[in-house]
Amino acid sequence: MSAMMSSSGWCGHCKHNTELPEQDMNEIDRNTLLIWNYMKLDQEVRPGDVIVVLGSIDLRVAERAVDLYEQKFAPLIVCSGNRGRGTASFQETEARMLAERLVSCGVPTSKILIEEQATNTGENATRTRALLHERSIPVQKAIIVTKPYMERRAYATFSKQWPEIKTYITSPQIAYEDYFLDEKFKHETISHMVGDLERIRRYGSEGFQIPQEIPEEVWEAYENLIKLGYGKYVPAL
């Protein structure tokens, strides 16, 4: 299993602080942390009808779902996702890999549904909704589990694509300075964060999500990171 897919010793009791001492922060960290804090919503999670885990190569999202399931926040988990940019060559879909991690952590297979067609966040919402409807499983409240820097995008997208339910957005409880498994993973993740912020800026007006206001200092951080070479995942116009 690759480093990206390692749990890296994560547990549900890791610290939440996302502020680094100024002297320990270089220009990349200063700009990235501004975006990270904007993307993270830190919503209070309340009981729901289902936990929806969004596809990811980082299986710590599955471990967060296990934590919530064991605390009885919801009786069912849906893993949603086909293959993405980092998993295109994998034999299994991201949803199936997440489900396997759930089972390895003790979640019964009878409490897991797999949706492996979604290729983006909008489809995570619409295809999961369709799957649950086909199974005649009523949903009024859903807990959405994603990566920390994807919380805002997940919230904005699910609010638009599945507006009739109440959503609680959460992610692995890991501080910024503890999140990155290695330097390669860190640089890839920063590039993804920059691309996701551009999607947040565009997708509200394009109808894919509800609009989100981006503070000036966050957008300045985006522009700084573009100059530093982190723009490879910014979607083309």
Higher-pLDDT residue of 218, 181: 218
Band the pLDDT of 221: cuts 50, 70, 90.
Answer: very high
| Both tokens assigned to 42 | 């830190």
**pLDDT averaged over every residue in the chain:** 89
**CATH number for 95:** 3.40.50.620
Q: Got the DSSP string for 153-200? A: HHHHHHHHHSTTSEEEEE-----HHHH-SSHHHHHHHHHHHHHHHHHH
Note whether residue 35 is domain-resident.
Answer: no
Does position 18 have pLDDT exceeding 80, yes or no? no
CA gyration radius for the chain? 17
Q: Is residue 54 part of a domain?
A: yes
Q: Indicate yes or no: pTM above 0.85.
A: yes
pLDDT at 88 over 70: no
- The reply to whether 211 falls in a domain is no
Residue 91's pLDDT band (cuts 50, 70, 90): confident
Q: Considering the domain boundaries, does residue 210 fall inside one?
A: no
Contact 235, 202 (CB under 8 A): yes
Question: Encoding tokens for residue 125?
Answer: 């919402």
Whether residue 159 lies inside any domain: the answer is yes
Which pLDDT belongs to residue 90? 60
Beta bridge partners of 115: 80
Report if residue 189 sits inside a domain: no
Q: How many CB atoms lie within 10 A of CB 208?
A: 18
Q: How many domains does the chain have?
A: 1
Q: Does residue 162 register a pLDDT over 70?
A: yes
What is the span of the domain harbouring residue 159? 50-170
| The amino acid at 227 | K
Give the tokens for residue 192: 């993804």
At residue 80, the 3 state secondary structure works out as strand
Domain annotation covers residue 101 = yes
Question: Residue 85 above 90 pLDDT?
Answer: no
Is residue 102 situated within a structural domain?
yes
**How is residue 23 annotated by DSSP?**
G
Rounded to whole angstroms, how far apart are CA atoms 112 and 126? Answer: 18
More confidently predicted of 132 and 7: 132
Share of the chain above pLDDT 90, in %: 83
